[in-house]
Amino acid sequence: MVIGGEDLTLRVIHRLIEAGCPATRVAEIFDISEEVIYYRGTPKRELYSSGRIDFSVLERAEELIREGHPADVVAFAAGIPLSQLLDYLGLGEEDWE
């Protein structure tokens, strides 16, 4: 669903993510794939090139969580905010308990 053009839609998505709305919920609201959700309003490809987020750390953290390690412990050990890890995984806080 595009309301008022693509630029306005991206700004609304940006504001929702900044406000702490989980990426999965934003994807549902706009009926889009989670892969196109912008993390803090920045496309993933720009985050890769800028080096602001080390996706290899997030990918390894995801592997550890899938092996059964608690998400909050993995986030602490990796030195990344739990909210950032949950956004990456597309989970809300109620899903990781």
CA 92 to chain centre: 10
- Per-domain residue ranges for the chain? 1-44, 54-91
Please report which helix (H) or strand (E) contains residue 62, including its range. helix 55-66
**Residues constituting the chain:** 97
Nearest to 77 by CA among 64, 87, 92: 64
Q: Indicate the pTM of the whole model.
A: 0.42
Contact predicate 86/21, CB 8 Å: no
Q: What is the pLDDT of residues 35-94, one digit of tens each?
A: 556 544 455 555 455 555 667 777 888 888 888 888 877 777 777 777 777 777 775 445
| Other beta carbons less than 10 A from residue 17's beta carbon | 20
92 near 24, Cβ under 8 Å? yes
More confident residue, 63 or 96: 63
